[in-house]
Structure 1
Amino acid sequence: MKRLNMLRHIIRVTGFSQFVLSFVTFIFGAGMVLFLVEPGITNYGDGLWYAFVTSTTVGYGDFLAITLIGRLTSVLLTIYGLIFFGCLSAVIINYYTSLNQKKERKNDW
């Protein structure tokens, strides 16, 4: 729980929260699109699951996108997921790097 609170703090302090909100919104929206256009996805929960698994690039293969809209949505989910998790890693690393630099400057005095 302590690590989750630290992650929340970093996201809030760095202004990354808007990106998190847009990513989560996109996953929920894509889940709805997939539910509506894909014949193999029979409920919203399955569409949401597919959207999450695709955005994290895990891709279990339990559901497949076979329509053009579903496949395009899958591509966008994958690209957005790669960008999101890459940026999240960079934000966390940048936060701790700046903390270490502040400590070093403080110790130099």
Structure 2
Amino acid sequence: MKKTRLIKIILKRTGALKFLTTYIIIFAGVSIGIWIVEPNIKTPIDSVWYCFSVATTIGFGDITAVTILGRAMSIFLSICSILIIAVVPGIITSYYIESTKLKEKESIAKFLDDLEHLPELSKEDLQSLSVKVKKFNRK
């Protein structure tokens, strides 16, 4: 549950949610378009199945586009899918790395600040600092 919430927050903050929403709209639109123009595709479910196989670049071959418009929509969906698969994980990874770096910098800054003000620290703070140093030395 926490990971799902975290991913939603990251997607929202980075703008990747707009990419995904746009992609879902494109996928739905192409599915409807394929269903309308392709004579081999009789049901909306078949159209979604075909678009799924195109989007994932699996291409099972059980259903194929035969019209020029259907093939053009398939190419468009393939390109959009490849871009989404490349961009969204990159955005999430980049955000995570930057977040980790920021936490590390804050932690280092706090550590250095504690060292600068060593005589002013309480006994509990000194013990905490000692534990941090010991953990650091183990790595």
Give the TM-score taking structure 2 as reference length: 0.73
Residue 54 of structure 1: aligned partner: 54
Residue 76 of structure 1: aligned partner: 76
Report which structure shows greater RCO (CA 8 Å, sep ≥6). Answer: 1
Deviation at 1:2, TM superposition (A): 4.0
Aligned-pair RMSD on alpha carbons? 1.3
Give the number of aligned pairs: 109
CA distance in 2, matches of 1:88, 1:19: 8
Partner amino acid for 2:79? I
* Unaligned stretches of 5+ residues in structure 2: 110-139
CA distance in 2, matches of 1:90, 1:60: 28
CA distance in 1, matches of 2:4, 2:61: 29
Matching of residues 1-109 of structure 1 within 5 Å: 1-109=1-109
Q: Which has the larger radius of gyration?
A: 2
* Unaligned stretches of 5+ residues in structure 1: none
Give the TM-score taking structure 1 as reference length: 0.91
